[in-house]
Structure formats: C-alpha cells, structure tokens
C-alpha cells in the first residue's frame, strides 16, 4: 500500500500557484521530497497533514483523505517543521512528552516514550535541559524526538538539517536512515539538498515550479542511459584507443572512462583490453546519473 | 567478571489506545493552564501570576481576619466588611493584570515559538485548538474572579459573619458563580481576541490594558462631560461586566437607567464580537506555505 498518493493536486496562495497538478505516489520507506526553495515542498507537507485543503485534485494519506479525516491522519503522523524555534523555557523532556500526549498517548506512556525518543536521537543525557539552552543541532533533534515519540506511521521532516554543521548533518542523516530502516517508520524527507536525498532515501519525488517533474525509486531514476564507468590503473589514453578500436563510444573523464552502449558488450571489451594492455581495473560499475543530473534533466 | 550487560531495547512500537481529539484538547488546556500560571517555568515567569493572585486574595484574607478579630457590633457600626459584589472594587487591578497576562501567554507564545504548527500537526484543528485555549483561560481567570469572593464567603461564614442560614449561603454562592462567569467570559474573549492580533506578548498585554482604559475613559467623558446618553456606557468594557455583577446581586448599580437586559445583551455582544475576531484571525492564519 502506498503511504501518500496525490492526483492532480492544485494549490494556490493568492496569485501564486504553489502546486499545479501534482500527481505522485509515495511508497513505504524513506522518500525524498526534493525541490528548490519555493518549489512547493512545504505546501505539499501542509496538504498531507490536512492543514490546508487543495484547490483541486485529491490526496490520500495512509489510506485516508486528510481533508475529511484530518485528526485521524495527523494522529498517525509525526511532523518536524523547518523552523527550529521552540519554547525556550521548557525542558526537552516536558516538550516531547506534552506533544506525545497531544498525539493521543496516555500520560504514563508519553513520559516513558519521551525519554526513549530523546535517547534515540542522542539527547538522553540532556533531556532535562531547557530547549533554549540547546544548540541548533540539539533543537533539531528535539523536534525529531517530538515527532517520533508517539510512534507515528509516517514521519514528515521539513529540511531537518537546516543550520547543522557537517558533523551534525551526518549524524542527523544517519538517524533518519535508521528510523526508516530499523524503526520501520515511513519517512518523507523534504530537502533542497541533493546529496542528502541521495544518501538517505530509497525513493524521490522531485518538485519544480509546483509540478512533479520526476518520481520513483532513486536507483531507477539514476540509471539513465546504458553503459559503464571504468576506473583504471594505467594509461587511460591507450585504453580509450583500444576500446574505440573495438567499436565502443566513450568519453575520458580524468582516470575514468565513461562508455556508452550495452553493458555486457562493454564489460567484455574492457576485460579484453585490460588483459591485452596489462592495465589494472580499479572499478567497473554500471553507468549511473547523479541525482543532480536527474534533477536538472527533470527540471529542464 | 560481572554478568552485567547493557541491553539496547531498540525502538518500541506503541500499540495501546490513543485518546483522539478530546485527549489532545485536555492535554493542551492543562499545559496552557500551567504556562499561564508560570508553573514548570523559570522563577521570572512565576512572579506576575503569583503577584496577581496575591493581590486578589489578600483583601479577602484581611476581611476574614477582621471578621474573626473585630466584634460584630463594632463591625456593623463601622461597616468594615464589603459586600460580595463590592469586593470586586478591591481586586479590579489584579483582574486586569491577570487578563493582560493570561491571554497573551497562552496564545502569542504558540505563534511566536512555532508550537502552533506542531499543535495543528496533531489531532487538533483550529477550532479544537482555540477551544482548548478557552478551556485554559476561563478557569485561570476564575482563579481571580471566582476564588477570592468564595474565600470571603467561606471565611465570613466560618467567622459567623456570613449570610443568614443555608439558603442565604447558597444564594450568595450561586451569585458568586454567576458573577465569576460573567467577568471571566467577557475578559477571556477580550484577552484572546487581542492576543490573536499580534505575536508579541507585551504588545498584546498593553493593548488589552489600553482597550479597557480607553473605552472606560472615553465613555465616561462623553457621559459626564458632554452629556451623552448613558447607554453609551455599554461600550465601556470595564463597566459592562461589573455593572452586570451588581445586578446579579440585586443591586441597581451605578447606572440604573440601563436595563439589566441591555447590560446582558452588551455583555453577550462584546463576548461574541471578541470570539468572532479570534476565530477570523485563526481561520486566516497560514501555518505551512
């Protein structure tokens, strides 16, 4: 069963069209919602939560219509918004427990799960500190704990690495990956950073100008044209000449050879050329486009 | 060698019952009550709520002390004990201070620190969120509108200076309840409506106090100096609830020419108007864009 399904979803804010007929499916696992700032990502999250109604089209979240079953949908969703402003004078544990209670958990369970969630995000020792005394990275993790504590079926994370330094960012992305894989919670990660999506997500929905320009499994989208990428330990030009002589079309990119065409034919030719020239092969892999290539191709 | 081991429990799914929207409303209302009173917050956040409560209850404690210590004959001659509705004259400042504190604390803070977005991403929607806030503000204001006259009633009754018989006690008890509801309802609506118009607590608090003062000064000036019709006093937010309280106790009040029905209608209109402003503001509020 898909987690979120949108059909020709439209949303306008005054004269601005935020979403113009977005059709997409978000499957189980970790899905990236990718787009430049203003592409409609936050608007889409708001629609998924049932905070606003679409001007056209329909949306199904966890099998329910968020416009008519908003409270039931939101009960099963954890949401960490983009901003990191939280009440400064409230202790992290009190805040997470309160939000777990608001999501329907009885007090005793909310208390226990708030502690668990704060331990999971690495703030176990800091859980009784006021949020206002915490760093940006810690506040981001408090938000994540608050979104996690009530055991949601779906976690919506809006730019969760905003304001984090590289180390904190790595740690946050590891945590998100763990939530999707070990905790068994489906995650939608909204971000404008390609490398984050590429690192963490199984699937991606790419938004541009309010439209879904590409969607699907990351591996499928990146596969692109057939071919191989070969890294060698030796004379690149000699190898390139040999392969061209064997009828292959290729480009040289530093120590790499990017070969077009059927992968099995190319692989055989590379093996034969390497043996003939006595050149070592460092890496032979299927030709994959980067997410940036996919994004640029889709957006254009 | 010890057998102790650290066991990673991992993530525990929750399969118990969920309390739905009603539970969310209860939880938010209780949390808002605690915040409004400065509980589980820094010592600074407790100062003003505690000061207001002390100002509201202190006269009641003093009057009960007087009732206990001063003989009845002397008390009656000197007329030292206030009427139950006259007691509000001693605590108006505490009520105004509380009204100016509570609404901004429970509404402005949520918008300013991003909690509103988190609440509306829960089973709460805008209507149930505001309902929870009203549920929080009403009893908190009741702490200064209902509590002190009740303390006075119980204290005077124990000191044998209270109403005559159980019937008299019950009548005053009901009147105190009705008076508390009248004042709390009007000021809850005003406090929340003013707080819905700005994200800054200080601005909202100043706005509430200024609204109360300006409507009072303007209407009094018009009636007393310019000879305007007394019914213009129905625009005075100080006058309407407290004059209605006088009528609840069977007192003709300061302006007997204004009928009790007109006062009740003005009270309803002010409360409904403020509630409409509050709803309009929150209905239009954009949470995610």
The shortest C-alpha distance from A146 to chain B (Å) reads 9
Residue at B15 is within a domain: no
Residue at B11 is within a domain: no
Mean pLDDT of A126-137: 92
| Intrachain domains A4-220 and A224-288 with the same fold | no
pLDDT digits (tens, 9 = 90+) for A275-298: 999 989 988 888 777 777 777 777
Residue at B29 is within a domain: yes
CB contact under 8 A, A102 and B24: yes
ipTM over the 0.95 cut-off: no
Alpha-carbon B238 to chain mean position: 14
Contacts of A106 (CB under 8 A, 6+ apart): B16, B17, B19
pLDDT value at residue B126: 94
Between A14 and A152, the higher pLDDT residue: A152
- Nearest chain B residue to A147, by CA: B118
| Mean pLDDT, chain A, integer | 90
Residue at B151 is within a domain: yes
* Alpha-carbon dihedral sign for residues B107, A148, A61, A21: positive
Cβ contacts of B117 on chain A, cutoff 8 Å: 79, 81, 83
Helices B88-112 and B201-224, packing angle to 10 deg: 140
Mean pLDDT of A132-152: 93
Which pLDDT band, with edges at 50, 70 and 90, does B230 fall under? very high
CB contact under 8 A, A71 and B109: no
pLDDT digits (tens, 9 = 90+) for B218-227: 999 999 999 8
Facing residue for A102 by CB, picked from B40, B42, B124: B124
The shortest C-alpha distance from B266 to chain A (Å) reads 35
Q: What are the Cα distances from residue B174, in Å, to A84, B55, B142, B177? A: 48, 24, 14, 5
Share of residues in chain B with pLDDT > 90 (%) = 78
pLDDT digits (tens, 9 = 90+) for A230-263: 898 888 999 999 999 988 888 888 888 888 877 8
Query: Which of B199, B117, B22, B134 is closest to A51 using CA atoms?
Result: B117
Q: Does any CB of chain A come closer than 8 Å to the CB of residue B286?
A: yes
- The DSSP element (H or E) to which B173 belongs, if any, is helix B165-196
Residue at B232 is within a domain: yes
CB contact under 8 A, B121 and A74: yes
> Which of the residues A12, A93, A102 would you substitute to probe the B interface, choosing the one with the greatest number of B C-beta atoms within 10 Å?
A102
Cβ contacts of A183 on chain B, cutoff 8 Å: 11
Facing residue for B123 by CB, picked from A71, A85, A94: A71
pLDDT value at residue B289: 63
CB contact under 8 A, B118 and A99: yes
pTM of the model as a whole: 0.86
Q: Does any CB of chain B come closer than 8 Å to the CB of residue A105?
A: yes
Q: Does any CB of chain B come closer than 8 Å to the CB of residue A10?
A: no
CATH of domain A4-220: 3.40.50.300
**Per the structure, how many domains does chain B have?**
1
pLDDT value at residue A214: 87
**Residue-number span of the structural domain to which B210 is assigned:** 20-284
Domain extents for chain A? 4-220, 224-288
CB contact under 8 A, B10 and A182: yes
Q: Does any CB of chain B come closer than 8 Å to the CB of residue A183?
A: yes
CB B242 within 8 A of CB B251: no
CB contact under 8 A, A106 and B17: yes
Mean pLDDT of A78-85: 85
- Nearest chain A residue to B31, by CA: A98
Pairing of strands A186-191, A30-34: parallel
The shortest C-alpha distance from A38 to chain B (Å) reads 9
pLDDT digits (tens, 9 = 90+) for A25-43: 999 999 999 988 888 898 9
Contacts of B211 (CB under 8 A, 6+ apart): B190, B194, B237
Instruction: State the fold for domain A224-288.
Output: Alpha-Beta Plaits (3.30.70)
Q: Does any CB of chain B come closer than 8 Å to the CB of residue A255?
A: no
CB contact under 8 A, A75 and B20: yes
Mean pLDDT of B78-85: 88
Which of A13-17, A144-148, A284-288 comes out lowest in average pLDDT?
A: A284-288
């Amino acid at each position: 069963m898909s987690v979120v399904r949108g059909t020709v979803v439209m949303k306008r804010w005054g004269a601005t069209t935020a979403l113009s007929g977005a059709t997409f499916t978000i499957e189980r696992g970790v899905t990236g919602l990718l787009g430049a700032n203003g592409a409609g990502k936050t608007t889409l999250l708001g629609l998924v939560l049932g905070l606003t109604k679409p001007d056209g089209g329909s949306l199904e979240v966890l099998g329910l219509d968020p416009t008519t079953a908003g409270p039931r949908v939101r009960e099963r969703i954890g949401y960490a918004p983009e901003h990191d402003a939280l009440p400064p004078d409230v202790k992290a544990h009190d805040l997470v427990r309160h939000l777990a209670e608001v999501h329907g958990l009885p007090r005793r369970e909310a208390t226990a799960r708030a502690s668990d969630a704060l331990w999971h995000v690495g703030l176990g020792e800091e859980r009784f500190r006021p949020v206002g005394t915490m760093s940006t990275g810690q506040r981001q993790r408090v938000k994540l704990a608050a979104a996690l504590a009530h055991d949601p079926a779906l976690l919506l994370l809006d730019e969760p690495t905003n304001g984090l330094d590289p180390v904190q960012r790595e740690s946050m992305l590891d945590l998100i990956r763990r939530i999707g894989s070990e905790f068994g919670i489906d995650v939608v990660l909204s971000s404008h950073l390609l490398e984050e999506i590429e690192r963490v997500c199984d699937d991606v929905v790419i938004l541009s100008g309010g439209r879904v320009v590409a969607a699907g499994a990351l591996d499928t989208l990146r596969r692109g044209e057939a071919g191989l990428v070969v890294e060698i330990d030796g004379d690149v030009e000699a190898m390139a000449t040999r392969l061209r002589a064997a009828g292959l079309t290729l480009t040289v990119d530093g120590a790499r050879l990017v070969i077009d065409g059927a992968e099995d034919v190319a692989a055989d030719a590379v093996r034969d050329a390497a043996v003939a020239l006595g050149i070592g092969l460092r890496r032979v892999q299927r030709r994959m486009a980067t997410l940036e290539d996919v994004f640029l191709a889709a957006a254009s | 060698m010890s057998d102790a081991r650290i066991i990673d429990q991992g993530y525990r799914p929750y399969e118990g019952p969920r309390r739905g929207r009603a539970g969310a409303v209860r939880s938010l209302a209780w949390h808002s009550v605690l915040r409004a009173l400065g509980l589980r917050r820094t010592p600074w956040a407790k100062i003003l709520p505690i000061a207001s409560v002390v100002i509201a209850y202190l006269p009641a404690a003093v009057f009960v002390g007087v009732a206990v210590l001063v003989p009845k004959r002397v008390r009656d001659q000197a007329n030292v004990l206030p009427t139950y509705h006259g007691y509000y004259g001693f605590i108006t400042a505490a009520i105004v201070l509380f009204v100016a504190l509570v609404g901004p604390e429970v509404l402005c803070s949520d918008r300013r620190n991003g909690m509103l977005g988190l609440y509306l991403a829960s089973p709460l929607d805008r209507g149930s969120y505001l309902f929870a806030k009203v549920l929080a503000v009403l009893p908190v204001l009741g702490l200064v509108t209902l509590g002190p006259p009740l303390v006075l009633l119980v204290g005077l009754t124990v000191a044998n200076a209270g109403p005559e018989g159980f019937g008299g006690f019950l009548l005053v008890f009901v009147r105190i309840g009705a008076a508390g509801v009248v004042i709390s309802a009007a000021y809850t609506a005003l406090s929340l409506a003013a707080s819905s118009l700005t994200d800054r607590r200080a601005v909202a608090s100043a706005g509430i106090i200024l609204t109360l003062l300006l409507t009072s000064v303007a209407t009094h000036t018009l009636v007393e100096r310019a000879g305007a019709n007394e019914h213009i006093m129905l625009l005075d937010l100080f006058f309407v609830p407290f004059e209605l309280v006088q009528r609840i106790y069977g007192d003709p009040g300061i302006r007997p020419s204004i009928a009790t029905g007109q006062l009740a209608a003005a009270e309803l209109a002010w409360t409904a108007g403020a509630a409409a402003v509050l709803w309009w503001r929150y209905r239009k509020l954009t949470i995610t864009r």
